[in-house]
Amino acid sequence: MAARLAAQHDSFKSSIASLRTTPLAPAKDLLSKVEAPISPPSSTKAASVSSSEDVDVKNAAPVEDWEGNYTFAPIKEHHVARAMTSRYMKDMYDHAVSDVVIVGAGSAGLSCAYVLAKSRPELRISILEAGVAPGGGAWLGGQLMSAMVVRKPAHLFLEEVGVPFEDEGSYVVVKHAALFTSTILSKVLQFPNVKLFNATACEDLITRPDPLGSGQLRIAGVVSNWTLVTLAHGLQSCMDPQTITAPVVCSFAGHDGPFGAFSVKRLLATGQVEQLGGMRGLNMQTAEDFIVNNTREIVPGLITGGMELSELDGANRMGATFGGMLASGAKAAREALRLFDSYSIDEGEVVGFAKAQ
């Protein structure tokens, strides 16, 4: 074993990565010599590659030439940094007060965002997704098999979004779940009134006394942090979190897990709900109807749907059929609009009922 590890280590020495694991030489030795920069072996160098001194970067023009002269437009590293940070920080600034926050960008959350953004382009919609890749479990079907099964009448939503399918009578089949996810994701992100903050976890819920006289605390927005910070310091890190104020929050955090069912578990921890029913065993026949029909405002200002609702209500698991997710998101959007239009709102906070027109 030791000999094999030694041989592996020797072969590893030739890689750039080995420089990161090798102890640094004393400073005096580094100052006494200047080594040539690391470069590929001569056998891998293309004869046409010029040194940096031979290229006039300022005057280089972009050229799409597939015969060895493809040239990108000139750029400096700080151009890239500023292009990203200026837009991201502006989005954070603009969306610090939103009209609707969606927690979770799985199939239900994305469906909710699509219906909201298309119906009301004047609304500012923020989506928080703890993962780097939005979509939740909707990149694949069941047991890593690619096809997506959607029971009717949720196929009408597929037609609305523009996802082709094969009709099997009482259900339809999308040839790959990623086709649905990528299609709806691209459409949601093209809406100018939507901002997706992925790799961003919901750490807590903002609460206020309810000015509408419910006697309950009202959910008035969310507390967020970059997911890596949240994981490094615990699910409630209190490590320089950001906030988004909004009169309506729609939560689709999925079934129980590291970030799953976050909102309902937080409500339980703060005494805003008495208990969680816990997701029951799989029953496709009943689960989807229940989830869609019971997608609702569970405490003032917070709508819950999708599999997170099953953790609250004790609904059955539905397995690898996705119609309930799509329809639950669409219903949540309709409920969000109904609530939003019933409020009088000041700087993202509910201050009373809307005046009758």
Rounded Cα gap, residues 289 and 276, in angstroms: 20
According to the annotation, is 91 in a ligand binding site?
no
According to the annotation, is 129 in a ligand binding site?
yes
- How is residue 21 written in tokens? 């694991």
Rounded to the nearest angstrom, the gap between the alpha carbon of residue 156 and the centroid of all alpha carbons in its chain is 25
Give the Å distances, CA to CA, from 139 to 103, 144, 148, 171, 317: 18, 9, 9, 19, 19
Task: State whether residue 273 is helix, strand or coil.
Answer: coil
Helical residues (DSSP H) of 120-176, grouped into ranges: 155-161
According to the annotation, is 221 in a ligand binding site?
no
Q: Pairing relation of β-strands 242-245 and 217-226? A: antiparallel
- How is residue 170 written in tokens? 């009482």
According to the annotation, is 84 in a ligand binding site?
no
Terminal C-alpha separation, the chain: 81
According to the annotation, is 92 in a ligand binding site?
no
According to the annotation, is 325 in a ligand binding site?
no
According to the annotation, is 307 in a ligand binding site?
yes
According to the annotation, is 250 in a ligand binding site?
no
- How is residue 222 written in tokens? 């969310």
According to the annotation, is 274 in a ligand binding site?
no
According to the annotation, is 169 in a ligand binding site?
no
Rounded Cα gap, residues 278 and 261, in angstroms: 10
According to the annotation, is 112 in a ligand binding site?
no
> Which residue positions form the known binding site for substrate?
108, 129-130, 137, 202, 240, 255, 307, 317-319
> Which residue positions form the known binding site?
108, 129-130, 137, 202, 240, 255, 307, 317-319
